[in-house]
Every structure is written in C-alpha cells, then in structure tokens.
Amino acid sequence: LFLRRASQLAGVSLRLPTEAEWEYAAGGGALHEPWPGTSDPEDLSAFIWFKGRFEGKTHPVGRKKPNAYSLHDLGGNVAEWCADWFDPGYYLQSAVDDPHGPATGTRKCVRGGSFLSSAEEVRSARCWGSDPPARRRSIEQRQAELATDFQAAHGRPPTAIETLALAQQANLETR
C-alpha cells in the first residue's frame, strides 16, 4: 500500500529493495560494516535504536547518525520488508553479484530489526522471514513516519527521486 501510494505521488514505479540491495546499503557498501553505520559494538547507540536502550518504542527518523550512504535508522527502530522471498539457504547457492532471491516462497524477507531487537538482531547481515500478509507494527509505522516526516519538513510531497530514497530508506529492507 505504501509503495503504491508513493509511486502515484512520484509518478514513477517504486519497489522494495532486494535483500542483497538492503544489506549492501545498510553495511555501507564496500565498508561491509557489521551494523548499519558502525563496526564498533560500543558505538551502536549512536546509530541504532534497539532493545533495552530506548524506551521500548519507535522514534522519529533521522535522530541517529547516518551510515556511509547517509541513510538513517537502517538498524533498529523498525524492521523493514525486502522484495525477496525468504530462504535461509538461498545465498549458499546463488550468484555472488546482485542475487535477486528465490523466485517463490511462503514468507518474505525482513531486515534491520526494531526497537524490540537485541544488538545481535540488528546486524546488517541478519534477516528473517515473515508471512506476507502479516503487518508488523514497526514496519508499517516506519513507512508512515518517513512519508509524514518528509511532508512536514518540506511542506510538499517528495519528488520521484526523493520518494525512491524514502522507500529505500523505509524498506532497505530495505522497512
């Protein structure tokens, strides 16, 4: 629903990122950071909202430091959907460059962890599967927060490129 509406506003077709795209963006590209924004476990709270540290609730986007690609909140705060079907063994047999995930499945890939996740669960390489119709409060809230925050900050709807960046941030996933 979010991407359909964002696509209408932007006038272009938007999509969720693949699992590989999400991991690359979250890990800072060639930096391969274990957590979005940092390699230092002592520095996690500067970049990530996670369990036991931040009041057990979501927070407005952009209050933590960005990663190497200037993306905020890819770890913690809210979990993010990816376009791929979830298969824990897929990447053991897939192409090394730009894999697109399994063609079919029963559960979708989720990345990033949330404010309910431990520090281990918000690692850039961590993923899990969730039933597609399931609506995790944190994923939905993340997508809504990004759209609302942008509108409030700029007094206008985002352009096509801005909408794509927001969707990717919500789902680099990817939300």
Interval 16-29: pLDDT, tens: 888 889 888 898 88
Note the pTM of the prediction, 2 decimals: 0.71
pLDDT-based confidence at residue 173 (cuts at 50, 70, 90): very low
Does residue 66 sit in helix, strand or coil? coil
pLDDT, tens digit (0-9, with 9 covering 90-100), for 146-159: 766 777 787 876 66
pLDDT of residue 169 exceeding 70, the answer is no
Percentage with pLDDT > 70 across the chain: 78
CA distance 16 to 82: 6
Give the residue-averaged pLDDT of 131-145.
59
Give 6's DSSP letter: H
Angle at 120 between CA 148 and CA 131, to 5 degrees: 60
pLDDT of 87: 92
pLDDT of 168: 61
CA distance 138 to 173: 12
Percentage with pLDDT > 90 across the chain: 9
Closest CA to 137 of 172, 110, 166: 110
pLDDT of 100: 83
